[in-house]
Amino acid sequence: MEGFNPGQEGSAEIVFFDIETTVPNRAGQRFWVLEFGAIVVCPRNLVELESYSTLIKPKDLSTVALRSGRCDGITRDAVADAPGFEHVADKIFSLLNGRIWAGHNIQRFDCVRIKEAFSDIGRPPPLSAGIIDSLGVLTEKFGKRAGNMKMASLATYFGLGQQKHRSLADVRMNLEVLKHCATVLFLESSLPSILNGSWQSPPTITTRSRSSAGKSTCREETSRKSSSPPSVGYQRSVPYTRGSLGKVTERMKNLLCKAQGSQPINNLLKHSHSVLR
């Protein structure tokens, strides 16, 4: 199947996507995709144009827990009758190929898993027109005020409720987090002498995890996308420079200015490769 053609229809749309996977618990185990969810968004007004989600049965069903160790409720029984990746690959390819990809830590996790899944069935993966990784953007602009960079913590900071750890719900939450971030930055830029620096760090947000006594509780994913970047020696895998991040943020803020028309986001799309490179 052909890859991305810059002139093809749909290349200006943004697709927010998320996957849920197994979590390897011993050396040599791999990740298996259990769920894929995505929304296609118009970049001019952020209206949701299309949505899709599906559970996916992995080739090795034994890697899926009989009872979910997380809050997502994806169990072996839940995926036992789900389609294999080869049966949903066409739909996933059509959603992703040639569009701008957006998500939380998709550079280090989701993009890699998608590539692996297509490789497993002997097909080339979809190609993006550009990538917007909210982990890099929000780490730069909201890391101190929002605590760690897990989506659950960001949602709590903005009062958006509890993260469900299901793909479609999480991508919609991701978009709402970005909207709130852009709004705050826009307001601060409007009255910088009053609003800038007026925020304080929130109380530490405690997430539930496996206890030291070994008791299994409802926990966040530990080795995948929701983890916050380490504070020491961390090198972002997302391709942003400090200078270009400011340009991305300005273009995000311009989405909220209706008086500006569609020109700011058009500029963002036009320069997506150069800004995010």
Q: Which helix (H) or strand (E) holds 49?
A: strand 48-55
Give, in degrees to the nearest 5, the angle at Cα 31 between 124 and 41. 60
Angle between helix axes 242-254 and 134-142 (nearest 10 degrees) is 100
Q: Is 165 a catalytic residue?
A: yes
Instruction: Tell me whether residue 197 is exposed, middle or buried, using C-beta atoms within 10 angstroms of its C-beta: 0 to 12, 13 to 18, 19 or more.
Output: exposed
> Residue holding tokens 């996933």?
92
Backbone angles phi, psi at 276, to 5 degrees: -90, 0
> Residue holding tokens 């020696």?
233
- Of the CA atoms within 13 Å of residue 197, those in its CB half-sphere come to 3
> Which is catalytic among the residues 87, 104, 165, 271?
165
- Radius of gyration over every alpha carbon of the chain, rounded to an integer in angstroms: 19
Backbone angles phi, psi at 82, to 5 degrees: -75, 160
Can you tell me the distance from the alpha carbon of 116 to that of 185, in angstroms, rounded to the nearest whole number? 37
Beta bridge partners of 70: 219
Q: Any idea what DSSP says for residue 11?
A: T
Diameter of the chain by CA atoms? 58
Give the rounded distance of the alpha carbon of 171 from its chain centre: 6
**14-21 β-sheet, strand order:** 48-55, 33-41, 14-21, 100-103, 130-133
Cite the active site residues. Answer: 165
